[in-house]
Structure 1
């Protein structure tokens, strides 16, 4: 099949490039380049979010009915490709790509009116309360309970691995509202104000020293019934919809291709075994990129999601880890530095050893170990592929 862009898509690509050249400042590019985690920190993310919102491109993946620009899937791919090549910050997806689509798909009119504008303006910063100790890949076994008390639910339990909860003022959470129902049938979806009495956040420092994850404790937290999205017991259906967005809501390939290119630019030409690894990763990342574009073209043509789309998260996780491992090896001793100061773009950071790009290399290598765990472990991905694509 042909993947050549037509005149309209080429004009759109040029429009995106001109916009990025004009509005993506050197400060934002540097902040993104020195971010060792998955998402940009608020001091980098919020300015970029405001710029995109002013242009009408923040919620580019939302339908027109929800306030999006109505782009085709190919245009979304082009936008993500150009942002990756330009080095734009990766915005936290918990609000924009996860709870936002849930709200405009399942929320009532009052919930949409209250939450969607604040999400887009940046007034509300959302965290995801799904995983619990002992309930990660087996999410249906979650134990956080919500007991109805008049017009409120009283929520008690614990969430874990909650990304950027230290910055959040809102939490969307799966809770068990019917302990006697089958596991999936007794779950509901709640929106929780993080300022409510009984909410406590405790940091989890990663092996790299980064604070991106947290534990969230809910001790008798009162949540209005009006903050339940969908019907009671509909939480599992909503969660499956949300997880599909988490695992396949964006293209992975463009970012991987761009990161590998920047790595080679920073290290200079690689030799021997390092060069072989770089070539292999380049081929794999480019193949993934084209696979995602091919799928976007087919979906725009009205076709069903191809079975090949099931592999993207699994393959992307392995390429991500491969690039970060290559970076540590290619930078040599400079790639092993692991300053305790954060953020790496901060004014109090020690000077880098070697190239600036080497400074976050060790942290990225350690943090990317989680890629084969979050969003569904590789084992879960393989099971999905076996069932849906192979028919096992």
Structure 2
């Protein structure tokens, strides 16, 4: 756990540019190595209690803290680190090995302690190689911090397991079969010895408690950061949806605008088999409303008429406002007579009475020009233009009527 905490502190400092955080990584890792060493020793089966020299024991803790701190300093500074992590790996492995063998020497009643030269060399090689692998994982963790936190967590876990395994293997290779010597009655521990044991016990307990407190702190920070990121993500999605709504819908009537209409028609064209009827609806007499009562009343009228058109079309088609008092209705229908009936229904509904805030309007009507896909064209611009021409054709011949685009009678403007 202490190793995981130390790597998290290194990652957090790199990500947030708080360079004081990685300074705690070294001491935390040193305490973790020291704790692991003494816990493994206590896990051995011994016939007698283990007695320690307090000076050597605390000196081994100091070596672990200082060595790991220097290792992290070299690792975080690229000029000292180099490309192959040799110097920081040497510092990590040297501090771990020195702490281990000094800690073994701190055992007062260790009996016969004989470690072969081969085991010592193997233990040093193991801790050095695992330090190199651990540093590689840590480097990848820092690289992935700004890209993907999930991969960063995997690399941090890999560094933790690598270092833990290396320290444990080094301990078992560098330890003899300790046979605690019995202490004669004349050499029973005095009150001073009891005090030394209490100091070591309190130190171990304090460091374990500190690691757990740091772990709880990290969980709290990660939870708070995750919650903040989740809220920010939801807010960003909400803003994007609102922006999409604003760019593809009319701000006054909330109907789809020309941009949305073009996308919708292009989508329909890709898999359309039945004819599409494009109705171009233009209001008759709307200019009078703006001139007499102002644009605010005109906007109020447009909102009411947009609701009328949408309710009349219902699920039979698609309604959009492309500007001013111009609306487009798209109907997918095989029967032309059904489309004519719907267009006549629209004319009847639009030519009604509208109770507005400043007045009552009862003179509004509409002219509707209709083009057909694919008969009159296969692209949006052509179909809209021909429906527009048909609409002006009927408007110039009495208004309040409908007509289909005719290639012979009607001609597109050059």
Question: Which TM class, normalised by the smaller chain length?
Answer: under 0.3
Larger helix proportion of the pair? 2
Rg (Cα) greater in structure: 2
By relative contact order (CA 8 Å, sep 6+), the higher-ranking structure is 1
Larger strand proportion of the pair? 1
Q: What TM-score do you get using the length of structure 1 for normalisation?
A: 0.23
